[in-house]
Amino acid sequence: MKFSLGKWLLPLYTVLALIFLMVPIVYTFVFSFNDSLKSNITWRGFTFDKWLNVCQVQNGAVCEAFGNSILIGVVATVAATTLGTMIAIALVRYRFRFRSQTSLLLFLPMATPEVVLGAGLAAQFLSVGVPKDMFTIILAHTMFCISFVVVTVKARVASLDPALEEAGRDLYGSATQVFARITFPLLLPGILAAALLSFALSFDDFIITNFNSGAVTTFPKYIYVSAARGIPAEANVIASAVFIFALAIVVTTQVSRAARAKRLAKQG
């Protein structure tokens, strides 16, 4: 039997890459059960107390920071998804002056380094006298999330078959009825994907948030400040819970999709 380097190299690379990606997640999950005191760097023993009393550390600072991140992420996602969807439809379906320039400008926040974007927004808020608080964070997150929403939804709009909407109009449907019953349901998968991406970007952001947050603490800021003395186990608990929740959503979605495909195959 001849040894084939190509046959083993790709599987080996895949396994090593998976291990490299999973090590930080496994570390975070394991140390969420650490019986730590002020520092969570060294292993002191196994305990469930951190999971049962996750909001007790430093008067609930970690849960307050997590709640701020959830609130900011939800509001910024709703705003960015709404505005980005309307912009995407306008760019694909309508012809207007400066349309090409608008498409180009929408890509700038994606290409601009976050430190430049965050510093520029902070300087702008300072020049107009807007105090930095949760409102400025939401504005900043909405601004840089819109570009990702437009790109995602724009691809979905471009793939729609215009004949479906024309059929709705031929059946005497008004513009509102055609959009509500045909266009929007067809766009919904792309809109949901854009919303999930927007929320992930907002929840995870540190650089832009740090420039424009003032005294407000978000979960990434809390992690950064705590990292110098060892991230508390309670932060690992929340991070592990978020990962498990996201994994459950993905698994549920895939199982539901497979079951639906199997059911449709039987019907066919």
Distance from chain centroid for Cα 160? 25
CATH 1.10.4160.10 given to domain 32-267 = no
Cβ neighbours for 261, distance < 8 A, ≥ 6 positions apart: none
pLDDT of residue 58: 57
pLDDT of residue 210: 92
Question: For 87-99, what is the mean pLDDT?
Answer: 87
Cβ neighbours for 165, distance < 8 A, ≥ 6 positions apart: 178, 182, 183
* Residue 247 pLDDT > 70: yes
Cβ neighbours for 239, distance < 8 A, ≥ 6 positions apart: 28, 32
Q: What is the pTM of this model?
A: 0.84
* Residue 107 pLDDT > 60: yes
pLDDT of residue 160: 84
Per-residue pLDDT reduced to its tens digit, 40-82: 777 888 888 888 888 775 557 888 899 999 999 999 999 999 9
Distance CA 221, CA 204 (A): 10
pLDDT of residue 253: 83
pLDDT of residue 268: 62
Average pLDDT score over the chain: 86
> Which whole-number Å values give the CA distances from 250 to 14, 63, 155, 189, 244, in the listed order?
21, 25, 22, 15, 10
Which of 15-29, 91-105, 109-123 shows the lowest mean pLDDT across its residues?
91-105
Tally of residues, the chain: 268
Per-residue pLDDT reduced to its tens digit, 141-181: 999 899 999 999 998 888 888 888 888 888 878 888 888 88
Q: Six-digit token pair at 39?
A: 């520092």
Which of 64-78, 125-139, 231-245 shows the lowest mean pLDDT across its residues?
231-245
Q: Helix (H, G, I), strand (E, B), or coil: what is residue 268?
A: coil
* Residue 4 pLDDT > 70: no
pLDDT band at 3 (very low <50, low <70, confident <90, very high): low
Per-residue pLDDT reduced to its tens digit, 176-231: 888 888 888 889 989 999 999 999 999 989 999 999 988 899 999 988 888 766 67
| CA 220, 225, 227, 230 torsion-angle sign | negative
* Residue 1 pLDDT > 60: no
Distance CA 157, CA 196 (A): 18
DSSP tag of 59: G
Distance from chain centroid for Cα 127? 30
Question: For 110-114, what is the mean pLDDT?
Answer: 86
